[in-house]
Amino acid sequence: MAEIAVIGGGISGIAAAYYLNQHNIDVDLFDAAESIGGRIGSEVLDGRTVDFGGKNIGRNYRRFRCFVKDYGNLPFEQFGFNTSQVVGGRVIKISKEKAKLRNLMRLVYLCGLKGFFKLYPLVKAVKGDHEQGVLNSDFFNSIAERNDHGSLSVFFGERCSQHVVRPVTVRMNGAEPEECYPGNFGSNLALALDSYEQLQGGMSSLIQAFYTGTQHTRFFTGYDVERLAFDPASSKVVIKGFNKGKSEELTYKKVMLALPASKAAPLFEHSNPKLSELLEKVTYYPVAVAVVQYQNDVFKHDHRAMVFDRTSPLSNAGAYGINDLSLVRYTFSGDKARKMILSGTNPEKAISIAEKTIEDYFNVKGNSKHNYVYKYLDPGLCAYSPYHYKLLQKMHGTLDTFHNSIGLTGDYWRGASIEACFRSAEEAVQKLIHK
The stretch 262-273 carries a mean pLDDT of 96
| Preceding peptide of 379 cis, ω within 30° | yes
Query: Which of helix, strand or coil describes residue 173?
Result: coil
C-alpha radius of gyration, the chain, whole number: 22
The DSSP code for 247 is E
* Average predicted confidence (pLDDT) for the chain: 94
The stretch 19-47 carries a mean pLDDT of 93
**Cβ within 8 Å of residue 214, ≥6 positions away:** 17, 18, 21, 71
The residue that leads in pLDDT, 232 or 104, is 232
pLDDT at 233 over 90: no
pLDDT confidence bin for 97, thresholds 50/70/90 = low
Specify the pLDDT at position 88: 84
Measured CA to CA in angstroms, residue 205 lies from 200, 251, 341 at distances of 9, 32, 30
344-387 pLDDT per residue, tens? 999 999 999 999 999 999 999 999 999 999 999 999 999 999 99
> In which element (H, E) is residue 95 found?
strand 90-95
The stretch 173-200 carries a mean pLDDT of 95
Alpha helices in 36-147 (DSSP H): 62-70, 100-128, 138-147
**All structural domains of the chain:** 4-42+58-77+202-282+386-434 (3.50.50.60), 97-194 (no CATH), 283-384 (3.90.660.10)
C-alpha neighbours within 13 Å on the C-beta side of residue 222: 5
The stretch 136-152 carries a mean pLDDT of 98
Q: At CB < 8 A and 24+ separation, what contacts does 346-351 make?
A: 347/290, 347/372, 347/374, 350/288, 350/290, 350/313, 350/374, 351/290, 351/292
The DSSP code for 303 is B
pLDDT confidence bin for 98, thresholds 50/70/90 = low
pLDDT at 435 over 70: no
Query: Which of helix, strand or coil describes residue 352?
Result: helix
310-342 pLDDT per residue, tens? 999 999 999 999 999 999 999 999 999 999 999
Calpha distance 167→83 (Å, rounded)? 10
Q: Pairing between strand 327-332 and 283-294?
A: antiparallel
| Phi, psi values for residue 240, rounded to 5° | -115, 130
Question: What share of the chain in percent tops pLDDT 70?
Answer: 99
Q: For residue 196, which amino acid is it?
A: Y
Output the CA torsion sign for 98, 420, 422, 333: negative
The stretch 34-62 carries a mean pLDDT of 90
Query: Which of helix, strand or coil describes residue 9?
Result: coil
Most distant CA pair in the chain, distance: 69
The stretch 163-180 carries a mean pLDDT of 97
Calpha distance 14→92 (Å, rounded)? 39
The stretch 52-70 carries a mean pLDDT of 93
**% helix / strand / coil in the chain, to the nearest 5?**
40, 25, 30
CB 366 within 8 A of CB 331: no
